[in-house]
């Protein structure tokens, strides 16, 4: 038996395998941006809300207001029996007059002593004593005048006045009560300085800050409002931050409604991609002559939520073919019809 051996040739082709570019579809950023409407509970609150207290000890003779009354600045609220303070003022005024007379006498004696001293009839010691007498009399008079001022202030405090235009919300004591310093007498709520308080969820704080339109909606009314302050403190129970807002319209304290705002233009959540643990967007980079994918991280982005994006409106965003795309991968754009 004869065997024939047929040589087998193995051909090896040398050279690198060239990968084809990823085919993707893009759209300009301006065509993708959306606006969302957000709402949050809001309430009108009085900036001035006070418990008006007594500042001295005296019997209450009159409470001149009832719950629901509207008072203006300077209106009488409560009157106290101040006869003893009036008597004290008469006494200190009399003492002040006495010190004034003593001061005048001391000044006259000083003037005479100076005249006599020039003639050599008064010693320097006596002159020094007259100067000291004047100084002592002046000091006593100043002390007594201060006592007169305190007595007058106490009498003024016997009539308790409204510090601003307000509504009486509560009478806390009755007539005949002995008022003491710090005892609350009536409670008032200011009517002229009213702000809105809105509770903003932490994750919406940036959107309300950047919004160009803030509206307070109540009883089918839509009032334009302006942001005054967004608190940096987060309520641990609710997870909200308080925002204070102002409006030119008159609002009654306690009015409830909702704050409504539109977000700044945002990128839909469906176009967000995660690369190396970061959320962002894949865009086209053709800056070096080769069309590649570039990943731009959006630091404020949250999973499943539209994200704020600050890129030129003509930026080409990759909308299809990005699932397995990595930053730096070469890409080929689908020609738009």
- pLDDT of 1 over the 50 cut: no
Using CA atoms, how far apart are residues 246 and 268, in angstroms rounded to an integer? 32
In this prediction, residue 18 carries a pLDDT of 53
Span 10-57, pLDDT tens digits: 444 444 455 578 889 999 999 998 888 889 999 999 999 999 999 999
Q: Looking at residue 14, what is its pLDDT?
A: 45
- Rounded to whole angstroms, the Cα distance separating 2 from 39 reads 95
**Residues 88-116: what's their mean pLDDT?**
90
Domains of the chain: 22-34+267-333 (2.40.420), 37-47+193-264 (2.40.30.170), 52-78+159-190 (2.40.50.100), 83-156 (1.10.287)
* Distance from C-alpha of 74 to C-alpha of 159, rounded to nearest angstrom: 10
The closest of 166, 162, 106 to 130, measured between CA atoms, is 106
pLDDT confidence of residue 19: 58
d(CA 189, CA 174): 20
Give the mean pLDDT of 236-254: 92
Mean pLDDT computed over every residue of the chain: 88
Per-residue confidence at 306, pLDDT binned at 50, 70, 90? Answer: confident
Q: What is the average per-residue pLDDT within 261-269? A: 84
At residue 282, the pLDDT reads 93
| Per-residue pLDDT at 12 | 43
Q: Do the bridges between strand 178-179 and strand 221-224 make them parallel or antiparallel, or are there none, so unpaired?
A: unpaired
pLDDT at 216: 95
In 244-279, which positions are buried (b, 16+ CB within 10 angstroms) versus exposed (e)? ebebeeebebebebebbbbbbbbbeeebbbebeeeb
What is the residue whose two structure tokens read 């995660």?
274
* pLDDT at residue 2, rounded to an integer: 44
Whether 284 has a pLDDT exceeding 90, the answer reads yes
pLDDT for residue 104:
93
Residue 95: is its pLDDT beyond 50? Answer: yes
CB 263 within 8 A of CB 38: yes
- Give the model's pLDDT for residue 337: 55
pTM as predicted: 0.63
Pairing status of strand 22-28 against strand 331-333: parallel
pLDDT band at residue 126 under the 50/70/90 scheme:
confident
Average pLDDT over residues 169-184: 95
Alpha-carbon distance of 159 to 329, in angstroms, equals 83
Q: How confident is the model at residue 93, as a pLDDT?
A: 92
**Which tens digits make up the pLDDT trace of 194-237?**
999 999 999 888 889 888 889 999 987 899 999 999 999 999 99
Residue 328 has pLDDT above 80, yes or no: yes
Q: Which pLDDT value is given to residue 214? A: 93
The encoded tokens of residue 256 equal 């409830």
DSSP letters spanning 158-169: TEEE-SSSEEEE
């Amino acid at each position: 038996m004869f065997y024939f051996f047929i040589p087998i040739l193995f051909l090896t082709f040398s050279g690198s395998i060239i990968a084809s570019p990823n085919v993707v579809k893009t759209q300009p950023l301006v065509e993708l941006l959306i606006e969302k409407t957000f709402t949050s509970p809001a309430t009108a609150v009085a900036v001035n809300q006070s418990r008006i207290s007594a500042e001295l000890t005296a019997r209450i003779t009159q409470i001149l207001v009832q719950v629901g009354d509207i008072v203006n600045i300077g209106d009488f609220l409560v009157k106290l029996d101040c006869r003893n303070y009036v008597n004290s003022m008469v006494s200190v005024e009399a003492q002040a007059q006495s010190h004034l007379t003593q001061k005048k006498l001391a000044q006259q004696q000083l003037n005479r002593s100076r005249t006599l001293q020039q003639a050599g009839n008064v010693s320097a010691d006596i002159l020094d004593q007259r100067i000291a007498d004047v100084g002592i009399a002046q000091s006593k008079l100043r002390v007594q005048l201060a006592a007169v001022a305190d007595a007058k202030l106490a009498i003024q405090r016997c009539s308790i006045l409204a510090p601003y235009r307000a509504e009486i919300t509560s009478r806390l004591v009755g007539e005949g009560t002995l008022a003491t310093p710090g005892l609350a007498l009536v409670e008032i709520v200011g009517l002229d300085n009213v702000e809105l308080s809105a509770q903003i969820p932490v994750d919406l704080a940036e959107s309300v800050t950047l919004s160009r339109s803030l509206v307070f909606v109540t009883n089918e009314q839509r009032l334009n409002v302006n942001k005054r302050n967004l608190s940096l403190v987060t309520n641990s129970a609710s997870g909200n931050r308080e925002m204070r807002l102002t409006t030119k319209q008159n609002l009654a304290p306690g009015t409830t409604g909702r704050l409504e705002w539109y977000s700044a233009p945002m990128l839909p959540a469906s176009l967000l991609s995660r690369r190396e643990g970061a959320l962002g967007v894949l865009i086209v980079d053709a800056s070096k002559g080769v069309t590649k994918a570039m990943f731009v991280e959006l630091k404020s982005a949250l999973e499943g939520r539209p994200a704020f994006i600050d890129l030129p409106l003509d930026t080409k965003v990759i909308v299809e073919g990005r699932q397995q795309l990595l930053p730096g991968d070469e890409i080929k754009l689908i020609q738009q019809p």
